[in-house]
Structure 1
Amino acid sequence: MDDRDAASGPLAGLKVVDLTTSYAGPTAAMYLADLGADVVKVERPGGGDDTRTWGPPFVGSASAWFASANRNKRSVVVNLRDPDGIATLRTLIGRADVFIENFTPGKLEVLGIDHESLRAEFPHLIYCAMSGFGQDGPDRNLPGYDLAAQARSGLMSVTGAKGGSPQRVSTALSDVVTGMCAALAVAAAVVRQRGTGQGDLIDVSLLDSALAVMAPRIAGFLAGEPEPAPSGGTDSVLAVYQAFPTADRDLVVAVGNDAMWRRFCVAVGLPGLAERPELADNPGRRDHRAELVEAVSAKLRERPAAHWRRVLGDAGIPCSLVQSLSEVVSDPQVLARGSLLEVPGADAWVVRGPFRLASIPHPRNARFPDLGAHTVEVLAENGFSPDEIGWLIERQAVEDGRAEGRRP
């Protein structure tokens, strides 16, 4: 890795073995790498991580999806169908601080790299198990993807046009949130590990993470709210809190309290609404939501969105254009924050981690690894001699992905 030796940040020196594929696991490991950890991505022979081929579009040798979740890592190819491959992986894990996997619970027991087996031998190890539905329960062995988690958690049931069919949030929402949750839990476990030398088992699932996203809606339902349905982007509690049409494009308006409501009414030229006692608090406004939406929509349609942005901004009312991605990637605030990172050596960009630390003044941004490009390097660091590495390559227990190491 180009900047591995110069890595800084609170997780500098942390060694992570990442045996995950798809998106949630790689995202978790990438955030740890962004924070300074040395992440070794272990991939299968031949194709590697499934997302390497999730395209087009492609960024050099891999898809844009893969590039977006695998920066700052090194790639090692290990054949888990070979006993020597398993033994090699166990050596890497034993010398690591953290092991992350996203196999269906139970599959790794056969290979002897399940939590109980590894922690018995390596009590310092933080073992992070990522799955669709968790490590226990009747559905622990079901495979899981973002779509299934969004559906089962109820997230889809409240998403979509009012009166329409439930819709998936059109991004890998539960994958990304699960990655964030896993990275948070690992970082917390590292604090204890560095103080006591003891590891931990972390159980993170797509379903649990999607339920966390749904926490306010579930709490409201359990408190007596009616069964929710797709509502076209309105909030379940707050009014007015949604998108509105203007003379030229949609604008979202977020009225979060009663004082803000009064300022909003005056700013947009609807002072009569602010004076009505039945609209003075949010329960009243919610009861009259349909009337308010009609009145506000009619008023905002009179002028373009840029006008209302200035007016509402001056009044301290949160609002935003509903931006397309072409606008997002040129948004002055996004650019000023350095939220987009150019992939080194490629005409492509990815999103920076959603955190800024003073100890990392410049974000780590090593290019995603080519498949098996660091196999020899990582094995040598972990005590394998050149002869041993050559022997493992010869019997195809591992693969050397370097250009000079590939067989014709």
Structure 2
Amino acid sequence: MEENATDGLPLAGVTVVELCHSVAGPYAGSILADLGADVIKVEAPGTGDYARDWGPPFAHGTSTLFHVLNHNKRGLALDLRDRVTCERLLGFILDHADVVLQNMRPGAIDKLGLGAAALRARKPALITCDLGAYGRSGPLKDRPGYDPLMQAHGGIMSVTGIEGGEPVRVGVSIVDQGAGMWAAMGILAALNKRHVTGQGSHVSTSLFETAIAWMSPHIGGYLSGGAMRRPLGSGVTEIVPHQAFPTSDGYIMVAAGNDNLFRALCGAIGHDFAADARFATNSNRVENRRTLIPLLEDIFRVHASAEWQSRLDAAGVPAAPIENVAQVLASPQTAALGILQQAPDLDLTLAGLPLEFDGVRPRYRHSAPALGQHNDLLSEPIAPEKAAS
């Protein structure tokens, strides 16, 4: 990997030390790495990050999830319980790091002498980011946590799935990845603040706070005197119709998000429900959801999904097929975006960052590090994006 691989990327020249495992923290680090930061991941020797073994599937001896979350990074394997090793890492941070990102169990980072207060007392320009489970305060602040626990405890499961069915977890790690995104945004904001003031910051976020943030529309509605939100399958609380409908050969997702689109939908299906006062406005349709949806379901069952897609496209009504991973990967739209990126050093393809800068997507520069691959960083002068061979 050439030394100037990050030239032109927004975070080129920024060094991040990541003391993270599992999903949320490494996802934050992966965002920063894709944006050009030199992210140096610290793992325990022996087994390393738990996510290395979270499979199958595996690619090149490591779980594909680990590759997803840790490509474009360099890696150290350090026993931080050893005082000399911890001091070497501390020296590296004080000499080179702009950011320290960690998601260790509550209190663990402070016992190592690498907590935010200790580090920033010696380097005020440093940005530290703690990504925890339940947050910095409160009766649960010392508890560990994982994505499904927070989907449950944060209320997300209460509005997911089908009414009367068993609890359903959102199929992607929405809390973990959301917390990683908040951590990355907080770090970016802190870097901007430092650019203006010269001072670092202590950024903190958590899985529980992220779950609450995802639930903010439901919380706002409930606190405004609304009814308790219930799971609506593919539907949403505030808009009708805005859900999947069964067709003769599958399902199609329809999003008639305003009254004009609903009238267009009525034209496309040949039934003027908009003339009925019960369905004339969105608020009326929401109130009469249980009446309108079965009527629409009966109509959509008559034709195949492709036929409905053609009709709705012609009418200007937003609609989409419900596709699996293989279908998404085969989509001409996916290909046109160039978001699937081939590793330059392995037979491996991953989804890239969902951002472009001046029409260019940050590239897949190198694969996730082998355990301890770059341990020589603690004995040599740092050279950002040194060849990751």
SS at match of 2:380: helix
Give me the CA root mean square deviation: 1.7
CA contact 1:12–1:35 (8 Å) conserved in 2 = yes
CA contact 1:193–1:199 (8 Å) conserved in 2 = yes
Q: Structure 1 residues 113 and 318, CA, compared in 2 at 3 Å: closer, same or farther?
A: same
1:381 corresponds to which letter in structure 2?
A: P
Task: Report the equivalent of 1:392.
Answer: none
Q: Report whether the alignment pairs 1:227 with 2:228.
A: yes
Cα distance in 1 for partners of 2:3, 2:337 equals 24
1:109-128 to structure 2, matched below 5 A, reads 109-128=110-129
Q: Report whether the alignment pairs 1:260 with 2:249.
A: no
Task: Report the equivalent of 1:290.
Answer: 290
Task: Report the equivalent of 1:99.
Answer: 100
1:170 corresponds to which letter in structure 2?
A: G
Cα distance in 2 for partners of 1:129, 1:231 equals 35
1:61 corresponds to which letter in structure 2?
A: G
CA contact 1:186–1:202 (8 Å) conserved in 2 = yes
CA contact 1:158–1:166 (8 Å) conserved in 2 = no
Q: Tell me the alpha carbon deviations over residues 190-209 of structure 1, each in whole angstroms, 9 at most, x when there is no partner.
A: 11212322100111101111
CA shift for structure 1 position 358: 1.9
Task: Report the equivalent of 1:156.
Answer: 157
CA contact 2:89–2:378 (8 Å) conserved in 1 = no
1:339-358 to structure 2, matched below 5 A, reads 339-358=339-358
Q: Tell me the alpha carbon deviations over residues 158-196 of structure 1, each in whole angstroms, 9 at most, x when there is no partner.
A: 111221122111221111111111111111111121232
Task: Report the equivalent of 2:74.
Answer: 74
Q: Tell me the alpha carbon deviations over residues 229-277 of structure 1, each in whole angstroms, 9 at most, x when there is no partner.
A: 3222221111101110011111111111111111110111112x12112
Q: Report whether the alignment pairs 1:63 with 2:63.
A: yes
Cα distance in 2 for partners of 1:345, 1:6 equals 14
Cα distance in 1 for partners of 2:39, 2:108 equals 23
CA contact 1:23–1:175 (8 Å) conserved in 2 = yes
Cα distance in 2 for partners of 1:324, 1:280 equals 35
Task: Report the equivalent of 1:312.
Answer: 312
Cα distance in 2 for partners of 1:178, 1:74 equals 22
Q: Structure 1 residues 381 and 359, CA, compared in 2 at 3 Å: closer, same or farther?
A: farther
SS at match of 2:312: helix
Task: Report the equivalent of 1:195.
Answer: 196
CA shift for structure 1 position 214: 1.2
Deviates more, 1:249-258 or 1:224-233: 224-233
Cα distance in 2 for partners of 1:359, 1:248 equals 38
Q: Structure 1 residues 285 and 359, CA, compared in 2 at 3 Å: closer, same or farther?
A: closer
CA shift for structure 1 position 79: 1.0
Cα distance in 2 for partners of 1:368, 1:169 equals 27
CA contact 1:24–1:176 (8 Å) conserved in 2 = yes
Percent sequence identity over aligned pairs: 38
1:328 corresponds to which letter in structure 2?
A: V
1:41 corresponds to which letter in structure 2?
A: K
Task: Report the equivalent of 2:169.
Answer: 168
Q: Structure 1 residues 238 and 3, CA, compared in 2 at 3 Å: closer, same or farther?
A: farther
Q: Report whether the alignment pairs 1:373 with 2:377.
A: no
Q: Structure 1 residues 32 and 43, CA, compared in 2 at 3 Å: closer, same or farther?
A: same
Cα distance in 2 for partners of 1:213, 1:133 equals 15
CA contact 1:3–1:366 (8 Å) conserved in 2 = no
Gaps of 5+ in 2: none
Q: Tell me the alpha carbon deviations over residues 109-143 of structure 1, each in whole angstroms, 9 at most, x when there is no partner.
A: 22111111111011011000001111222211100
SS at match of 1:104: coil
Cα distance in 1 for partners of 2:230, 2:43 equals 41
SS at match of 2:355: coil
Cα distance in 1 for partners of 2:221, 2:334 equals 34
Cα distance in 2 for partners of 1:61, 1:345 equals 14
Cα distance in 2 for partners of 1:365, 1:99 equals 22
Cα distance in 2 for partners of 1:69, 1:143 equals 20
Q: Structure 1 residues 359 and 9, CA, compared in 2 at 3 Å: closer, same or farther?
A: farther
CA shift for structure 1 position 362: 4.9
2:26 corresponds to which letter in structure 1?
A: P
SS at match of 2:356: coil
SS at match of 1:39: strand
CA contact 1:19–1:41 (8 Å) conserved in 2 = yes
Cα distance in 2 for partners of 1:91, 1:114 equals 14
Q: Structure 1 residues 131 and 169, CA, compared in 2 at 3 Å: closer, same or farther?
A: same
- Equivalences, count: 383
CA shift for structure 1 position 343: 3.0
Task: Report the equivalent of 1:386.
Answer: none
2:147 corresponds to which letter in structure 1?
A: D
Q: Report whether the alignment pairs 1:140 with 2:141.
A: yes
Task: Report the equivalent of 1:399.
Answer: none
CA contact 1:9–1:359 (8 Å) conserved in 2 = no
Cα distance in 1 for partners of 2:184, 2:357 equals 15
